Structure 1
Amino acid sequence: MMSKNNTPMSDSPDVLKFIHTADLHLGSKFCGISGMNPDMAKKMSKATFSAFDNIVSHCIDNNVDFLLISGDIYDSADRRIYEQLEFRKRLAKLSDYDISVYLAFGNHDPLSGWSAKIDWPGNVNIMPGNDPECLFYESGGKKRAAIVGMSYKQSNTTVNLTKYYPEKENSWPFTIGMLHCNLGTDTGHEPYSPCSVKDLTDKNYDYWALGHIHKPQIIQESEPVIVYPGNPQGRDMGESGIRGCYIVTVSNRGSIETEFIETAEIKWEKVSVNVSKISDENDLIKRIEKEIQKIRRNSGDKPTFLRLTLTGRSPVHSLLSKEGVADDIVRHFRDEEESNNFVFLEKIIDNTEPEIDLNEVAKREDIVGDIVQISDSLLKEEAKLQTVRLKLDDLFKSSKGKKFIEDLSDDEMGELVKEARTYLLDRFVGGDSK
């Protein structure tokens, strides 16, 4: 994943190079995974630290000028002394290579949280919590970058912090804003320091180093460049896909190149497999094995947790719909795995359907026909689907419900209708009627 403009990069020593990361969540717990052997569990417990080790190595190998960390270094405001000592050890390694570090704490690790009285290495600069501070990165007796940022003073920071940031001054060199924030709406994250692209653009900075959103993304490629690096290590299936940081190179003419670097030590993958042409359990096991081997070949020797979704109208639907069958298949593949370069089958989701001709069943003048007719109308007519959503509002919007479940998108509502249809058809006609 790269973003480049058309200006060629200069090989001049005046080129500025830095790495932008955020949301390390050091010490974060990986929950909900059972059945791991001790070696696998140990890899999991060290994963967030290993990902940060990779970032440190990239800083050194690429001879960067500095490292930016835009919030949520730790996973909890009551950060443990172990995480702090381990973090400091890695920052001290960067100090040995004369690489500066700029830190801005976020909602998970606000300045108000408990912190051990640990002396930071001399290369570390911590952004204050009262107002943004402008720090200048200097080398060769010259100011090469202005870095403006602030930390969260309190965890629950829901005001737009950009209004406190100063506009870029004419005398400032290449200017970077560091901010842990919720940019735009509908991000799937808590609205901490909500702001807009316009809020950032109005400051006339050159680069905004954001944090808080865990999915890596370049929001804007120029004037200014606005980047979320995502978290360097995914922690559950909700954080599947590539995870890493951005290395940014600025030429002496001001052109900016951003390059994504993967850092995760453990990967999370979601894969959907159509099994409509599979006739029995033996072929099903072979098909799952083929998918696991494909994941292993493409993993880059990284351990992977795999969630497999099976789809399609298939003869194996009747087998998979029986209680405990999917869990038994998962257990079989877990027993086959070893500790190194493992592909751990986290779950099988059965979205298969019985081999039933729905068009023919819909013609029946009984409850089975009604099931298909009603589900078809819900899937085809938006207004009717929304009536289902209204029926579920009390569940999703209740104070208790919001703690455990999120509101469904239109696509997810459609999948829910299909699952309900399959559930009912299984019980009325089974998988043998056509």
Structure 2
Amino acid sequence: MDEKLTFIHAADLHIGAPIRGLRGLSDEWERRLIDAIPAAWERVVETAISRRVDFVIVAGDIFDSVRASYGDYVRFFAGLQRLDAEGICTYLCTGNHDPQSVWQKDFFALPPSATMLAADRPDFALFEREGKPVAIVAGRGYPNKVWSSRENIAAGLTRQAALSALGSRAEEAPFAVGVLHTGLNLDPVKAPTDPAALVAAGFDYWALGHIHRRYQDSESDPRVVFSGCVQGRDIRETGSRGVYVVELWSDESPRLTFVPTASIVWEQPEVDISDCPNIPSLVKKVMRELFAVNGTVSCEMMVTHITLVGETPLSEVLSRPGVLEDVRASLNDSYSEFYCDELIDRTQSPRDEEALRAEGMFPAVFLRTAETFASDVAGQIDFLQEEFLARGIPLTASLSEKKARRLTGEASSLVLELLAQGGDER
């Protein structure tokens, strides 16, 4: 009979994280957002119990702050105690947000089934099922908030080192799992390490934390994996968030099942309102789009930044003082489970560019110049760099060709919009 190991790979709980970047929240929405992160941890625990997994891994940043409150510890340790009561082990490591040097050990003691992997050295544990060795668990946490650039966090973490440390019984274990909080090769600042070296270390699976989006080194044979955070904390962390249920079988590739744990999802939809004749129809279309977006994620509540686009006579209406904010309020009154934090207007008034060219006036000259400029992407980036430097503003390193094209298009549209608004006086 083939051996099998099932566990949950979780990371980046960030219990105690503050609400970031939101405005004008109702009391109800403030309560929802405060409860969302600890509630996500509770869903991790419930998933582990309902699926009867062998153990749970939390790969760092359990708490958001080095000064986590007593209440934060209560929520986390309540989950550990539930798992302990169900006979489910947990393996933990610390991260850059909650390094081992600041853990409040006087608040609670870990239950017998929980293991905190060391931060000052490579550490190894042996998971047994009914007295039989099943898996080596190896890893290392953060001792302090900053990891030394002169030290490799994965140094010494190999299957052979685990066998030497754990003794002959470990040789009977068919599986080995590594646990780290690392930037891998995706974040060169936070304890980076080489994914190829991890694969060569002899482990069946590496459960990693720190990168908040899901990532795996291979779709068909995932060995080096980030599960992402369990609950998005702001508008930059869009989409479903959760954990992986990992199944390891002898001589087979790991099988990963994503399980959503977030109660609130963040999204940034773009809605084309060019076919909306008035504001009520605009609101209805946006709501239809929001329900469509929400249908692709696995939780009902959603916080959004919505961008309105398209050529429409409503562009002039939306530019009037207070109108956009009134539309946002109307959207928030339409459905209590959706909250629009920001409504962005990038619509344009209808214009006939061919007619403008035929007139032969300044707009025609501008359009020809803009088209020539748009065809030279390298020239666009050089121009932007010169303009930024002339104003003493550093040019962002992330200015891609795609972003340069978008900025050029937006600038051209803005000029034509201003010309249209100014009429003959301009």
Task: Identify the TM-score tier after normalising by the shorter chain.
Answer: 0.7 to 0.9
2:147 to 133, 141, 157: 157
Instruction: Give the letter aligned to residue 176 of structure 1.
Output: V
What's the counterpart of residue 278 of structure 1?
276
**Residue 349 (structure 1) aligned with residue 341 (structure 2):** no
Is contact 1:218–1:228 with CA below 8 Å preserved after alignment?
yes
The residue number in structure 2 matching 1:4 is none
Partner of 1:6: none
Write out aligned runs for 1:60-99 (5 A).
60-99=49-88
Equivalent residue for 2:306, pick from 305, 308, 316:
308
| Number of the residue aligned with 1:384 | 379
For structure 1, list consecutive stretches of 5 or more residues without a partner in the other structure. 1-9
Deviates further, 389-398 or 174-183? 389-398
| Count of residue correspondences | 412
After TM superposition, the runs of 4+ consecutive aligned structure 1 residues lying more than 4 A away are 221-224, 252-255, 295-301, 362-367, 392-398
Map of 1:3 onto structure 2? none
2:179 aligned partner: 178
User: TM-score of the superposition, structure 2-length normalised?
Assistant: 0.88
Question: Could you list the per-position Cα deviations for residues 58-101 of structure 1 after superposition, in whole angstroms to 9, with x for gaps in the alignment?
Answer: 00000001000111111112222221121111100000011111
Whether contact under 8 Å (1:306, 1:344) holds in the other structure is yes
Deviation at 1:139, TM superposition (A): 1.4
Kept in 2, the 8 Å contact 1:310–1:350? The answer is: yes
Please state whether the residue corresponding to 2:100 is helix, strand or coil. Answer: coil
Please say if 1:58 is aligned against 2:56.
no
- Range 344-353 or range 71-80, more displaced: 344-353
The offset of 1:332, in angstroms, is 1.8
Q: Shift of the alpha carbon at 1:211? A: 0.8
> Over residues 181-203 of structure 1, what are the superposed CA-to-partner deviations in whole Å (9 max), with x where a residue is unaligned?
11224xxx572011232121221
The root-mean-square deviation of aligned C-alpha atoms, in Å, is 2.8
On the 8 A contact 1:356/1:432 being kept in 2, the answer is no
Q: Note the alpha carbon deviations across 1:133-168, whole angstroms, 9 max, x for none.
A: 111111122211111101111212153535513322
- Offset of 1:390 from its aligned partner? 1.3
**Partner Cα distance (1:278, 1:18) in 2:** 50
1:127 aligned partner: 117
Residue ranges of structure 2 left out of the alignment (5+ in a row) = 164-170
Choose which of 215, 218, 226 in structure 2 pairs with 1:217: 215
CA contact (8 A) 1:355 1:431 kept: no
Aligned 8 A contact 1:354 1:430 in 2: no
Whether the 8 Å contact between 1:396 and 1:407 is mirrored in structure 2 is no
> Per-residue deviation at 1:432?
8.7
* 2:54 partner amino acid: D
* Superposition map of 1:129-148 within 5 A: 129-148=119-138
Specify the alignment match of 2:101 in structure 1: 112
- CA displacement 1:350-406 (0-9 Å, x = unmatched): 2222212334435665553454344333432121121134136559996xx79xx88
Secondary structure (helix, strand or coil) at the match of 1:49 reads helix
Q: Residues 15-36 of structure 1: CA distance to partner in whole angstroms, max 9, x if unpaired?
A: 2110001010111111222233
Change in 2 beyond 3 A, CA 1:177/1:377: farther
Which residue does 2:419 correspond to in 1?
428
User: 1:205 touches 1:224 (CA, 8 Å); kept in 2?
Assistant: no
Q: Which amino acid aligns with 1:128?
A: A
Cα distance change, pair 332–214 in 1 and its aligned pair in 2 (3 A): same
> 1:395 and 1:184, CA in 2 relative to 1: closer, same or farther beyond 3 A?
farther
CA distance in 1, matches of 2:423, 2:96: 54
What does residue 5 of structure 1 align with?
none
- Give SS of 1:313's match: coil
Question: What is the rounded CA distance, in whole Å, between the counterparts of 1:411 and 1:35 in structure 2?
Answer: 34
Contact 1:206 1:223 in 2 (8 A): no
Matched residue of 2:48: which SS? helix
Matches within 5 A, 1:225-374: 225-295=223-293, 302-338=300-336, 342-361=337-356, 367-374=362-369
* 1:5-24 equivalences in 2 (<5 Å): 14-24=3-13
Q: What's the CA shift for 1:234? A: 0.6
Give the superposition deviation at 1:322.
Answer: 3.0
What is the distance in 1 between the residues matched to 2:98 and 2:373? 45
Q: Which residue of 2 aligns with 1:412?
A: 403
1:343 alignment partner AA: F
Cα pair 1:26 1:83 within 8 Å, conserved: yes
Match of 2:21 in 1: 32
Moved more, 287-296 or 54-63: 287-296
Instruction: Output the TM-score relative to the length of structure 1.
Output: 0.86
Give the match for residue 204 of structure 1: 202
Q: Which residue type is aligned with residue 88 of structure 2?
A: I
Q: What is the rounded CA distance, in whole Å, between the counterparts of 2:409 and 2:222 in structure 1?
A: 45
